[in-house]
Amino acid sequence: MSRFKKSLFALFCLILSLPETAEAAKISVAVSIKPIHSLVAGIMAGVGEPSLIVKGSRSPHSYSLKPSDARTLSHADVIIWVGPGMELFLQKPISALAEHTRIVALSESINGDPHLWLAPLRATSIVDRVLAALIEADPVHDTIYSNNALSIKRKLKDLQAYGIGKLTPVRKTPFLVFHDAWGRFAQSFSLSMTGAVALNPERPPGAKRIAIIRNLIEHDGIQCLFREPQFDSPLLTTILEDHLEMKVFELDPLGSVLQPGPDLYFQMMENNINAVASCLR
């Protein structure tokens, strides 16, 4: 075989091997809930797709780990979750994997509000945390990750501006939520959230709490209450039985009816912003 043919053959073999090399270089990333998964999927676009643990409309507060979830976690190079204040079911499995897996906990607190992603500018810090973990685990694709993260942060800034534009006209109008998850959202847009029916979604409010909520409705002139698709509580009917004029809209902190992927977070947040603007108008 001539030197030219040998060189051509070597080049051909190298080209054939490139897809396999790129494939082998991919890392396995597991993410707990849809909104965080969406942001991670956006950062990983063009490199790979993260796995999602809590699928569909299930609530992470009451989720039970499945065998398939356990396998996903055991094969992951990186696991990203909010923390024990949100996905308590992951605490033990993650502790067992901590020695050989990169774990990214976005909130270490058990008692604080774990719904970090509901404030667009706070979500920027989530992007930064995830970006650092992905580059550490997969430095080969650091440029792609960095460019994607920059694009997402620009979209988050635009989302914040969109929310301010829609919600500033109604920011002084008081309202109630069912689940105590919307404090960061309300703060982000300077809204007048008066309170929550349930401080803990897994524990129904007692008679004292119901009396407090009814008192708020009567004395603060509240005309709007937001429920969530994850929690179908008959207590709302009880609370509102003497307030039939109350408007009830839905807010979804998890994007439960949306398809997982990079667009989910922004669709979910725009839906929530529009729902608040419509109810308080």
| pLDDT at residue number 25 | 56
| pLDDT at residue number 59 | 86
Q: Name the class of domain 166-280.
A: alpha beta
The CATH number of domain 25-163 is 3.40.50.1980:
yes
Distances (CA, A) of 172 to 120, 180, 188, 194: 20, 19, 14, 11
> What is the tens place of the pLDDT at every residue in 22-78?
444 589 999 999 999 999 999 999 999 999 999 988 889 889 999 999 999 999 999
Instruction: Give me the mean pLDDT over the 12-28 stretch.
Output: 53
Instruction: Give me the mean pLDDT over the 76-95 stretch.
Output: 94
> What is the tens place of the pLDDT at every residue in 124-136?
999 999 999 999 9
CATH 3.40.50.1980 positions along the chain are 25-163, 166-280
Is the separation of the CB atoms in 217 and 196 below 8 Å? no
Instruction: Give me the mean pLDDT over the 225-246 stretch.
Output: 75
The better pLDDT of the pair 51, 5 is held by 51
| pLDDT at residue number 23 | 46
| pLDDT at residue number 195 | 86
| pLDDT at residue number 201 | 61
Task: Kindly provide the b/e burial profile for residues 240-257, where b requires at least 16 CB atoms within 10 angstroms of the residue's own CB.
Answer: beeeeeeeebebbbbbbe
> What is the tens place of the pLDDT at every residue in 170-209?
999 999 998 889 999 999 999 999 988 876 666 666 777 7
Flag whether pLDDT at 17 surpasses 70: no
| pLDDT at residue number 162 | 98
- Two structure tokens written together for 181: 């998850």
Flag whether pLDDT at 235 surpasses 80: no
Instruction: Give me the mean pLDDT over the 97-113 stretch.
Output: 86
Closest CA to 128 of 148, 108, 99: 148
| pLDDT at residue number 61 | 84
**First CA to last CA across the chain, in angstroms?**
80
The better pLDDT of the pair 206, 215 is held by 215
| pLDDT at residue number 200 | 67
> What is the tens place of the pLDDT at every residue in 144-180?
999 999 999 999 999 999 999 999 999 999 999 988 8
Is the separation of the CB atoms in 86 and 112 below 8 Å? no
Share of the chain above pLDDT 70, in %: 86
Return all residues near 204 (Cβ < 8 A) that are at least 6 apart.
Answer: 198, 233, 235
| pLDDT at residue number 202 | 63
